[in-house]
Amino acid sequence: MVNVSKRLLSVPASPIRKLVPFAQAAKKQGVRVYHLNIGDPDIETPDVMLNVLRNWNKKTITYARSHGEPALLEALKSYYQNLGYPFIDTSHLVVTLGGSEAISMAFLATTEVGDEILTFEPFYTNYSSYAAANGTKIVPVRTASSDGFHLPSLKEIEKKLSKKTKAILYCNPNNPTGTVYAKKEVEMLVTLAKKYNLFLIADEVYREYVFDGRKQTSILSYFKKIPQQAILVDSLSKRYSLCGARVGVLSSLNREIMAGALRIAQGRLSAGLIDQTMASQLAKVPKSYFQKVHQEFQKRRDVLYQGLLSIPGVSVPKPEGAFYCIVGLPLKDSEDFCKFLLTDFNLNGETIMIAPASGFYASRGLGKNEVRIAYVLNTQNLKKLIQILRQALIAYQQKN
């Protein structure tokens, strides 16, 4: 007998995956399923990017540069410089195959097998996959709905540090909670990184999605304060509705990290030529595009938040950014309820697919009364979501 590796077996299944067959079965029976379970927005990709495809005239799809296509690297440099970080040069950037590869590179760069990375739960579920594949241990620090999932005190975080802790990872604005960390929270993490000699990895793929006039505090503001420790993970997926174009960024002022990331990038040859050529148009995307997208998501947030509050027993902190929220429900097993929505319920032939929140927690038993909702559909559909959720909760309670 041959045995596959333990590390392969340790890569977790997507917690949403289990529900997919039920969604498919529902669709087969003619039920319309609204997908609010994944952050794949319905926003159109900017025309200036789609035109790259329509006007494609290169006859051979050759490898792109391992570091990133020069035009894209220049466009990214300008983007970061215009954000207020004129010190960012192309040598501080490596183009990755989505934010996913950037996170995986950051794990590999900062930990040996068995080392620990602290992050705040609930957290983006795929962190667990990259951690398993890299042999890194994720140590969760709990945040609570009652605090809007904001960070706990420095002392609480310190309790979770061990000799094996090599980095703190945070997502800001946060997937799955919608929390935008205040400047003082980010500064607390910088303080911790300095005090304990840790890497600080910031996942900022939702940077522009902040509501109610908030400002996102980027780790880029601290790049010069902790140049060897700060690492930015970024992606163009959400900013330009390019989820299926696998273009992300790893950035740091730490030369060893950037040199190592470039060596990994050379090993896998390149990110996609076409995706990068599209993305390199980013400077030409009009400001009106972002204003429209931003307004749309703030409107969706408002409709969703008001609607959720109107349902008895439902609790949710007001989402501050990104396009997710963790919603508390008046029940004990949200996974069972999410399945119920697909197998036993519909409202006029329609239902919703949402994600049980337990998959976003590393600590067992947490999140069992919570779901994550990605508000990636328009307000009309979100209003339907509210009706469906309200009726489904009643039906579920009657059934149980």
Stretch that binds a copy of itself, among 95-103, 140-148, 317-325, 391-399 (CB under 8 A): 95-103
User: What's the CA angle centered on 85, arms 82 and 89, to 5 degrees?
Assistant: 95
Site string for a copy of itself, 195-234 (x = CB under 8 A): --xxx----------------------------xx-----
Residue 97 CB, nearest approach to a copy of itself (Å): 5
Structure tokens at 390: 């309200």
Structure tokens at 137: 């241990």
Assess 122 for contact with a copy of itself (CB under 8 A).
no
Beta strands at 230-235 and 199-203: parallel, antiparallel or unpaired: parallel
Assess 285 for contact with a copy of itself (CB under 8 A).
no
Q: How many CB atoms lie within 10 A of CB 288?
A: 8
7 contacts 131 by C-beta, under 8 angstroms: no
Q: Binding to a copy of itself (CB under 8 A): which residues in 157-186?
A: 166
Assess 9 for contact with a copy of itself (CB under 8 A).
yes
Q: How many CB atoms lie within 10 A of CB 352?
A: 28
Residue 68 DSSP one-character state: -
Assess 35 for contact with a copy of itself (CB under 8 A).
no
Residue 162 CB, nearest approach to a copy of itself (Å): 16
Q: How many CB atoms lie within 10 A of CB 125?
A: 21
Q: Which one-letter amino acid corresponds to residue 8? A: L
Residues 207 and 120: their CA atoms lie apart, in Å, by 18
* Binds a copy of itself (CB under 8 A): choice among 216, 254, 281, 334: 254
CB closer to a copy of itself out of 13 and 213? 13
Assess 251 for contact with a copy of itself (CB under 8 A).
no
Assess 38 for contact with a copy of itself (CB under 8 A).
yes
CB closer to a copy of itself out of 182 and 262? 262
Q: Whole-angstrom distance between the N-terminal and C-terminal Cα of the chain?
A: 46
Q: Which helix (H) or strand (E) covers residue 399, if one does? A: helix 379-399
Residue 245 CB, nearest approach to a copy of itself (Å): 5
Assess 398 for contact with a copy of itself (CB under 8 A).
no
Stretch that binds a copy of itself, among 182-190, 265-273, 305-313, 378-386 (CB under 8 A): 265-273
* Binds a copy of itself (CB under 8 A): choice among 126, 315, 378, 387: 126
Q: HSE-up of 297 (CA within 13 Å, CB side)? A: 29
